[in-house]
Chains A and B, each alone.
Chain A
Amino acid sequence: MIILDQVSFAYPDGTQVLDRFDWHVARGEAWAVLGPSGCGKTTLLYLLAGLRAPAAGEIRVGGERLERPRPTTGLILQDFGLLPWATVRENAALGLRVRGFYGPDGKHAPPDEVVERIHERVDPWLQHLGLLEVADHYPAQISGGQRQRTAIARTLALNPDLLLMDEPFASLDAPTRETLQNLTLQLHSERELTTVIVTHAIEEAALLGRKVLIMGRPPTRRAMIIDNPAAGQGSYRETPEYLAIIRRLRQALEAST
């Protein structure tokens, strides 16, 4: 699904983030990218989203060289991703409206999709994510958890095959965060989505990533990967394996920084 081949990237100030970095993600896998702030994990996600271009090397997603945001990649950011002037329903429909705006050109929208009856496609997601009651509210009127659900609904309405998330639950309180983490697990298993979630929280990486990529002090040259095959359900939190993997991740993180 994702192939990074000898990818290099540096910030405008010259700091090298990735240096001839290789990484492979297979279809349907659930990955967590774990690292301290400043390690370049968000940059990596933006590269995968096609919002940044590598200085050298090649990124291939879904078999094609990535040159711009891909219509079937969903991106969910920590916050501020919703239009403040649009209601929950309008925000959830935004991706479809953008597709309708361009038509099926294969560049901004999939070549085979005719966008019709947007509300009929959006409302089931609003219902599934418990947002129908607040569908006519504006983002400023709803809770942080509902805002993130709206962002998720907007992405899922586009029927993505790859879901990229950047610290999606970092600003939420603990119970809301757990609910949304469970929802992420559920969506992953229901739809066989390939997911890459970037986080600085070891517990979150242990819960959501069946494979965890550790990023330490930049530049990252080699992918340090820790397998976490038992992850995949909320109940994993209660198991000794979960605690063991957290310990391993912590050690790996400390060793890499």
Chain B
Amino acid sequence: MKRGHVLLAALAIGLVWQLLAMLVRQPILPPPLAVLRVFFQDLPGQLGEHFVASLWRVVASMLLSIALAVPAGLVLGQSRRLDRFFSPVIYLLFPIPKVVFVPVVLLFLGIGDFPKIVIIFLILFFQVLVLVRDQAANLRPELIHSVRSLGAGRRALFRFVYLPASLPAILTALRQSIGTAVAVLYVAELFATRRGLGYYIYLHGSTLFDYPRMYAGVLAMSLLGLGLYFLVDWLHHRLCPWQFAT
């Protein structure tokens, strides 16, 4: 995908927005330029602070889920016995929409950043775990045999085979779940916090009725998701060049 195309698409969306705003002519749908003005006005101040708070929560849960799900996935992918034991559990837990646990997690973990990080972590963890496990389990036995014949024991197999083989799975899992993660972040930030873009959007939309500010928050949240998406995409090209070589 070319950068120019992304820019053109952004312009097109802005244009449709502008047209809709002109048709509706209500304070509830301000034109994009008015929103952009507020966005840039607020970004160095309040909006920026909320953005950083939200960014930290997502990035922390991403790192936490990688740190825990990758080793677990690699172990399950290698050991048929352990996988037989755990896979029914994962099978049951994986499809449950984790967002329903928001009140539960908040009840147990209280206020602050940690419960919000845990909620997003729950989503990412299963996604990464399942993809890494499948990737490790589907490595061709010929590959494992030939690397073992070079003298590799368990540690070297991890280092030279399982870890690099699971990199694309990690990045794919992250990319697939960023949308959901940011959506759940929004829901999580509606409760028990005064920081974060979710709070910012809700405050300006439903309490203060300051619609341009609310849309500036929506824009910031979209940019947060997009930015993470581009970051993961960039990492994928950077860390897995063989998948893009022609």
Contacts and interface: CB of A to CB of B under 8 A. Distances in A.
A and B interact physically: yes
Interface of A: 46, 49-51, 69, 71, 73-87, 94-95, 97-99, 101-102, 107-109, 137-138, 140-141, 151, 154, 158, 164
A158 B150 contact: yes
Interface string B126-150: 0000000000000010110111111
A141 B241 CA distance: 12
Contacts of A75: 145-146, 149
Interface of B: 140, 142-143, 145-153, 155-156, 159-161, 164-165, 167, 240-242, 245-246
B148 A69 contact: yes
A98 B240 contact: no
A57 B165 CA distance: 37
A174 B33 CA distance: 67
A79 B143 CA distance: 8
Given A77-B142, A80-B142, A102-B156, A140 B147 contact: no
Contacts, number: 85
Given A81-B145, A101-B159, 7 more contacts: A46-B145, A51-B145, A51-B149, A77-B146, A78-B142, A83-B143, A94-B147
Nearest to B246: A141
A141 B142 contact: no
B107 to A, nearest CB: 44
Contacts of A102: 151, 153, 156
B143 A81 contact: yes
Contacts of A95: 150-151
5 contacts: A51-B148, A85-B240, A94-B160, A101-B156, A108-B153
Contacts of A101: 155-156, 159-160
B232 to A, nearest CB: 18
A69 B156 CA distance: 14
B142 A81 contact: yes
Contacts of B143: 80-83
Contacts of B145: 46, 49, 51, 75, 77, 81
B150 A49 contact: no
A55 to B, nearest CB: 19
B151 A81 contact: no
B149 A98 contact: no
Contacts of B240: 85
Contacts of B146: 75-77, 80-82, 151
